[in-house]
Structure 1
Amino acid sequence: MDTSDAMFYCFLFFLWIISSILVRSFVNNRWSNRTDTVRHPPSPPALPIIGHLHLLISSNVPNSFQTLARRYGPLIQLRLGTSLTFTLVSSFTVAKDILKTHDSDFPTRATVFTSGYNIYKGSTFINAPYGTYWRYLKKLCMNELLSSSQINRSIHIREEEILKLLESLMKNSKKGEFCDLSMVLTAMTNNVICRMAMSTRCSENDDEAKEIKKIVRDVFELGRMLGVNKMMGPLGKFDIFGYEKKLGLAMGQFDRLVERIMKEHEEKEKRGCEGEGRDLMDIMLESYKDTNAEVKLTRNDVKAFFLEIFLAGTDTSSVAMQWAMAELINHPQAFKKLREEIDSIVGSNRLVKESDVPNLPYLRATVKETLRLHTPGPILFRECTNDCSINGYDFKKSKSLLVINSYAIMRDPNAWTDPDEFIPERFLVNSNSTENLGQHHMEIKGQDFRHLPFGGGRRGCPGASLASTVMQATIGALVQCFDWKVKGGEKVDLKSGSGLLATAMAHPLLCYPITHFNPF
């Protein structure tokens, strides 16, 4: 770095300090002159400029939030940097109050980190304000992609992709080679979503598989890193680390990829060709061309919708399955119990199927326990749209941001016995093995606010049913067909990654598959 560059960065740093102090002073003056009696939740001691950043003692932010809640209470106000102030919720009773009693007061998922390089700005579905546009897209999504009937119609897609996964692992087993379960599970879930949404197997060849996985991963990771810019206050506008520019490049790649697929569907329609049937892309294009549709969709709306489907579905399901296999490998008794259940119901002559899952309670319990310990959505954002009061504190319209720490709620000792232990039996009913687990062994039916892996209320994840279905069938097949040996050790390292939305494992899941049952 030459002298001119060093001077430039020193000037930016000085500008940030001065701007932050001025903004802080202005805000303090505004609050000191207020004459109303708004009751805010308690707040830990904060430092100038950085706020409560110094209290985040772990790189795993949900875990740090949990530590703060245990010290200062289940409802506290925090400030990270100069611009991000929110109320942190860490109690299932308060979460229930927000997501059920006050669901209509918090109907919008807050958009905390935004980017000027988002080419789909204004076309988002997941974080769209509650209104006609969001309701229309959710209805379209639930009716055409995620309804029970549609999930049943696409069962052959998931079965074929699971077989391809097993075939790949059989080759590793035959050669005595280890595999990266992180990679192969991501490829499988990616293919399932591609085929259900676009009748396209996006990983038909290695180059295309790497392309789409890389784009989705880059967009996801860069979107998370925008939080750094947000907490830097006025200086964040300069995009010092280049995250926004890189995000724009990744989204441009995705835009070109989906545009090509859209044109292929339009050409297919002109030729009158039929593929795997009428998929979600066909439905979206039909709505896009319908001048009398309830909501007039733009081409960007369609592309943004599919980007969010990939972002919400590919990594989350894949990561959850990685955690499930890691926990089962580290708990051989649970692994043995699950295999014995599958053998007793399915037998030893065929592969476990989705239709078997209702008769496999321990498999379902294993998935639920995995999602409790390693939730794909550890942090839920909600924005207040109506003045209301919760637990004696006031929340104002358009000024109150809530952060619900579902990670902490699902590890709360007041809600769960031995909350940090992997015990699938807690989700079984009338099981002798659950006698010492307290009152919390149960089969969750409907919405239990102690168990929020997919969020809750009207903004809960619409793909929860599909995600659970994919997880159950895949984990059942991996346990039925293989024994697993960890590469380089006896047990899997269960350390989590870092960041605000820390859900992935810190290290790849490298294992040797050892064939137990060959379905081919």
Structure 2
Amino acid sequence: MDLLLISITIVCAGTLTFFILRLLFNQTQYTIKLPPGPSLFHIIRNILELSRNPHIAITKLSKIYGPIITLKLGSRITIVISSPQLAKQVLQENSQAFSSRTVPYASRVFDQHKNSLTFLPLSAEWRNLRRHCATIFSTQMLDSTKVVRQQKLKELLDFIKEKSLNGEDLDLGEAVFTTVLNSISNTFFSKDLSHSTSDEKSQEFKNIIGGVMEDGGRPNIVDFFPILAPLDPQGVQARMSIYFIKLFKIIDGIIEERMCSRDSKIDSGSEVGNDVLDSIISNVGATSQLSRNEIRHLFLDLFIAGIETTVVTVEWVMAELLRNPDKLEKVREELCQAIEEDAILEESHISKLPYLQAVVKETFRLHPPGPFLVPRKCDEDACIAGFLVPKDAQVLVNVWAMGRDPTIWEKPNIFLPERFLNCEINFKGQNFELIPFGAGKRMCPGLPLAHRSVHLIVASLLHNFEWKLPDGLTSEHINMKEDFGLSLKRAQPLRLQAISIKLS
């Protein structure tokens, strides 16, 4: 269904339910106590912008109504938070009341919401999955697998060097996707899931994960009007079912192959492996360990969240640096001073690159992977900033708006990494003006791996190559428009031409 037809459907459904909504929300106990917000007519008038760029549209509303606003969308009350102080109240000080998730219909496919770390309530099952993630992303585990990531990065650099020598340009996001895919698959399974950037499997994975992120993040009329769920008017659930079937087929095949291989090794007295999958399989059926179904859903979560976030961030970093040549030159100078000429960049070098770290922070400020984080649900009536947040309300934390708020940041729309030099602000959940990975108990468990991967990939790209736009284009031609979904990716792929610095 094309965008025009979707828009017409939404507008008609909104108009049809207008009088019902008036009965629901007017003259109720919430009329005075709820945070301020736009009228239903205002929302209908701006429905196209809300469906295409909800982060921008809602940020505009927050500038009118304040840092906490109410949106009455269909049968759901949505509260939007747009300040660090109120975000802290929601994510930390009142974390118990806001610990649950709103479950979109797109995530109900194959009962993903009942098995996913992302959507499970704080329960024994959730804590068990969280413990496994803490082990997977622990410093000890990441240190033990850094050689794998180093090898995959070398393959990326070799691929780019070949393109450079042939005078060819490349889709940077596509190349980085294959690297991150194989880095994660080797960390988890000790095997590549793609053999080259142009490999069919890599393209299929990219299409699947991109589809999940796009359909899972864009507004779905069924979430506002559940009565339409059997019709699936936008086809979201149908497409998500196809994506999940394909991903589960790949993951189940790997698990089955590994279990057979392990049985064979055990029977012959050979030593079994020690990657993440081996560690989990070794304890299947044991107390507090994971079932086969939980394993497949866990890996599905980790692949979807881990790959896209890293790839999107690397693309935004490179785009911003190319648009700001003076910042790019500062990164190069730092790399030359910190890394010996013939040395191989390693994760241990990241701590020696404060300006690069500032560049990544500035990119997260302007281009957070998830502009609203993952939506929360209020489990009980709560009071935030003197307003009522009613039970079952959806709560969005608009980190995109906070990153561009002039009351928080000087020159907020300017790419200025220097603001983070000699500054204690980080993105690990303690500083609420910069929380691209969330904060509190439900912040993203994969942050340690994302931190290592983004810094190392960007540093390696800049340390080994100079970069320019193809076909004589200049930095002014770089399209910085965003494409809204679960991740805020670039609307247009970043095509670049590399010039090898190290010819040997």
What is the deviation of 1:204? 2.5
Structure 2 counterpart of 1:92, one-letter code: P
Alignment-derived partner of residue 283 in structure 1: 279
Counterpart residue number, 2:449: 466
Secondary structure at the counterpart of residue 403 of structure 1: strand
1:86 alignment partner in structure 2: 78
Query: Greater CA deviation, 496-505 or 380-389?
Result: 496-505
**Given that residues 177 and 307 in structure 2 are in contact (C-alpha distance below 8 angstroms), is that contact kept between their aligned partners in structure 1?**
yes
Change (3 A) 1:122 1:333: same
Equivalent positions of 1:342-421 (< 5 A) are 342-380=335-373, 381-397=375-391, 399-421=392-414
**Alpha-carbon distance between aligned partners in 2 of 1:53 and 1:227, rounded to the nearest angstrom:** 16
Tell me the distance in 2 between the aligned counterparts of 1:262 and 1:92: 42
Structure 2 residues without counterparts, runs of 5 or longer: none
Partner of 2:152: 161
1:448 and 1:365 map into 2 onto residues whose CA distance is 15
Distance of 2:95 and 2:234 partners within structure 1: 37
- Seen in structure 2, the aligned counterparts of structure 1 residues 225 and 65 have a Cα distance that, compared at 3 Å, is closer
Which residue in the other structure is 1:95 paired with? 87
Q: Deviations over 1:45-68 (max 9, x none)?
A: 2229x6574483683221221111
The answer to whether structure 1 residue 126 and structure 2 residue 126 are counterparts is: no
Give the equivalent residue in structure 2 for 1:510: 495
Q: Is the 8 A contact 2:214 2:485 kept in 1?
A: no
- 1:93: how far off? 1.2
Does the CA-based 8 Å contact 2:313-2:369 persist in structure 1?
Answer: yes
Distance 1:427 1:91 in 2: 19
Q: CA deviation at 1:271?
A: 2.0
1:119 and 1:305 map into 2 onto residues whose CA distance is: 13
Q: Is the 8 A contact 1:375 1:407 kept in 2?
A: yes
Helix, strand or coil: the match of 2:79?
strand
Q: Does 1:202 align with 2:187?
A: no
Residue 476 (structure 1) aligns with: 459
Q: Which residue of 1 aligns with 2:426?
A: 444
Question: Relative to structure 1, is the Cα distance of residues 463 and 362 closer, same or farther in structure 2, using a 3 angstrom cutoff?
Answer: same
Q: Say how many residue pairs are matched.
A: 489
User: 1: CA distance between counterparts of 2:453 and 2:13?
Assistant: 52
CA apart distance, 1:116: 5.4
- Distance of aligned partners of 1:377 and 1:480 in 2 relative to their CA distance in 1, 3 Å threshold: same
The verdict on how the C-alpha distance between 1:426 and 1:494 changes in structure 2, with shifts beyond 3 A counting, is farther
Q: Calculate percent identity across the aligned residue pairs.
A: 28
Q: Which is further off, 150-159 or 121-130?
A: 121-130
Structural mapping, 1:184-199, within 5 Å: 184-199=175-190
Question: SS in structure 2 opposite 1:47?
Answer: helix
Indicate which of 302, 308, 329 corresponds to 1:309: 302
What amino acid maps onto 2:91 in structure 1?
L
Query: Any idea what SS the aligned residue of 1:103 has?
Result: coil
Aligned residue for 1:484, secondary structure, equals: strand
Please give the alpha-carbon distance, in whole angstroms, between the structure 1 residues aligned to 2:64 and 2:412. 18
Choose from 436, 455, 463 the match for 1:453: 436
Amino acid at match of 1:353: E
Secondary structure of the 2:282 match is helix
Q: Distance in 2 between matches of 1:192 and 1:394?
A: 45
1:241-297 CA-partner distances (Å, limit 9, x unpaired): 32212221221111111111001110121122789942222233234332xx126x4
User: What does the per-residue CA deviation read over 1:200-258, in whole Å, with 9 as the maximum and x for residues that have no partner?
Assistant: 21113513222333322233323235624334553343013322122212211111111
Tell me the residue number matched to 1:435: none
Q: How far apart are the structure 1 equivalents of 2:121 and 2:81?
A: 21
Q: Give 3-state SS (helix, strand or coil) of 1:183's partner.
A: helix
**Alignment check: 8 A CA contact 1:20 1:234 kept:** no
Give the Cα–Cα distance (whole angstroms) in 1 for the partners of residues 111 and 346 of structure 2: 41
Cα offset for 1:517? 2.4
1:414 Cα deviation from its structure 2 partner: 0.9
Q: CA deviation at 1:140?
A: 0.7
Contact 1:146–1:462 under 8 Å retained in 2: yes
Match of 2:288 in 1: 294
Q: Which secondary structure state, in structure 1, belongs to the residue aligned with residue 499 of structure 2?
A: strand
Q: Determine if the alignment matches structure 1 residue 215 to structure 2 residue 199.
A: no
Say yes or no: does 1:43 pair with 2:30.
no
Q: Deviations over 1:384-408 (max 9, x none)?
A: 12332110011233x2211110001
Alignment of 1:41-80 (within 5 A): 41-47=35-41, 51=44, 53-54=46-47, 56=49, 59-80=52-73
Partner of 2:240: 247
Cα separation, 2, equivalents of 1:376 and 1:113: 21
CA pair 134-154 structure 1, distance change in 2 beyond 3 A: same
Return the offset for 1:195: 1.0
* Partner-residue secondary structure (3-state), 2:489: coil
CA distance in 1, matches of 2:100, 2:445: 15
Q: Distance in 2 between matches of 1:67 and 1:467?
A: 30
